[in-house]
Structure formats: C-alpha cells, structure tokens
Amino acid sequence: MADITRILESARRGEPGAMDTLLPLIYAELREMARQKLAEFPNERTLQPTALVHEAYLRLVGQSGWENRGHFFSSAARAMWQILVEKARAKKALKRGGAQEPLGLDDLDLDQLDVDLGAAGSGDSSTDLLVLDDALDALGRDTRPAQVTLLRFVAGLTVDEIAAALEISVSSVERDWRFARAFLYQHIEGSSP
C-alpha cells in the first residue's frame, strides 16, 4: 500500500514513468473489481473484465491529482461506472422505441444494492444501471455519500476498506451509506409512476 501511495505522489508531481509503474501494482485489484461488477450485470456480455480495466485505466492515465490510494480507487470505480453507463446507454439506444416498463421500487432492492443490482429490477440490467446512474446524479457525484456508494457498489469494498480508502471513520462511512441508500430509495420512488 505504501508503494502505491508513493507512486501516486510521483505521478502527481509529474514524474515520468510513474503511471507505468503503478499498473502492475494495482492491476489485480482493478480486474477483480471489474469482474465482480460485470458478474452483477449478466446481460452485459459484450465487455470482459480485462477490457473494462484497460478502458478505465486509459481514462485514468491522463489524470494525476490523486491524493492517496483511496482517491485513486474512487477514480477507478467512477471510470468503470462511466464505461458501464455508456454501454448501457448505447444498448438502450439500439432498443429505442421498444416497450420498456419503468423500474419501480419493488423491482430494485436498495438494501441489496451493493450485492445484487444486476439480478433485480426490470430484468434488463442496462435499464437498472441507468436508473441508478440517474439517482447518483441527483445525489451529487462529488459528495462523500456518492463516493461511498461507488466504492461500495462498484469497487465492492467493505465499510472498513472504504473508511481506510477515504481516510474517515467507520461510523462516517456507515452514516454516509445510510444517507445514500435512503436518498437513492427516495429518488427512485419519486421517479416511479
């Protein structure tokens, strides 16, 4: 972990080769994050974990302002999430005009959000993903509860791991997670017919 933090500091200072040194150290963690997330969206078979990691990493290479390991993994989770949302939007665009039913609260169990979104909802994981993305927009992408949600849902981190990554207390993570789930639940309920 100290190596990653040191390399991130080198990247922030603009030292050449820092990002090239980083990839081998974090690749396995990023690939596992991608594998877990793609497993939750069984209808999204067009993207493999390796491809998701590489695409996310390419988006991260141009950045260098990470404060710590947690900030980097939060950025990686956000990049993966954006890629999944873009793929879902593209898939939905292909289906435009189809009879898609709105997603209701009974379809999406926010208590299981970090575990089983792909199996819940409309049966179309692309639709589920877009509904959640809209709710995350309403929550505010740069708020700490949104960061906790991305780290919990996309990165699959535990409460303790999130606390360490964001350098906050476990009780703060738990409070942010409760707030985020309640907010997302209300937002989805409010947008359901």
118 has pLDDT over 50: no
Tell me what the mean pLDDT of segment 23-51 comes to: 78
State the pLDDT at residue 45. 60
Tell me what the mean pLDDT of segment 4-29 comes to: 80
State the pLDDT at residue 168. 92
What is the average pLDDT value for the chain, to the nearest integer? 76
- More confident call, 122 vs 118: 122
How many CB atoms neighbour CB 36 within 10 A? Answer: 14
Task: Give the C-alpha separation, 36 to 152, whole Å.
Answer: 12
State the pLDDT at residue 130. 83
116-140 burial, b for 16+ CB within 10 Å, e for fewer?
A: ebbebbbebbbbbbbbbbebbebbe
- More confident call, 168 vs 131: 168
- Top-ranked range on mean pLDDT: pick from 61-65, 103-107, 182-186: 182-186
Q: Residues for the chain: how many in total?
A: 193
State the pLDDT at residue 101. 53
Q: What is the DSSP letter of 103?
A: P
Helical spans, DSSP H, in 40-169: 49-61, 69-94, 113-116, 125-139, 144-153, 159-166
Per the structure block, which two tokens stand in for 112? Answer: 């299981």
Per the structure block, which two tokens stand in for 32? Answer: 């596992």
Is the torsion defined by CA of 123, 126, 130, 136 positive or negative? Answer: positive
18 has pLDDT over 70: yes
Lowest average pLDDT, out of 46-50, 116-120, 167-171, goes to 116-120
Closest CA to 152 of 33, 38, 65, 35: 33
Task: Give the C-alpha separation, 116 to 55, whole Å.
Answer: 24
State the pLDDT at residue 108. 46
The confidence band for 95, taking pLDDT boundaries of 50, 70 and 90, is low
Task: Give the C-alpha separation, 119 to 130, whole Å.
Answer: 14
Tell me what the mean pLDDT of segment 15-39 comes to: 81
2 has pLDDT over 70: no
135 has pLDDT over 90: no
Distances (CA, A) of 41 to 49, 69, 118: 12, 27, 4
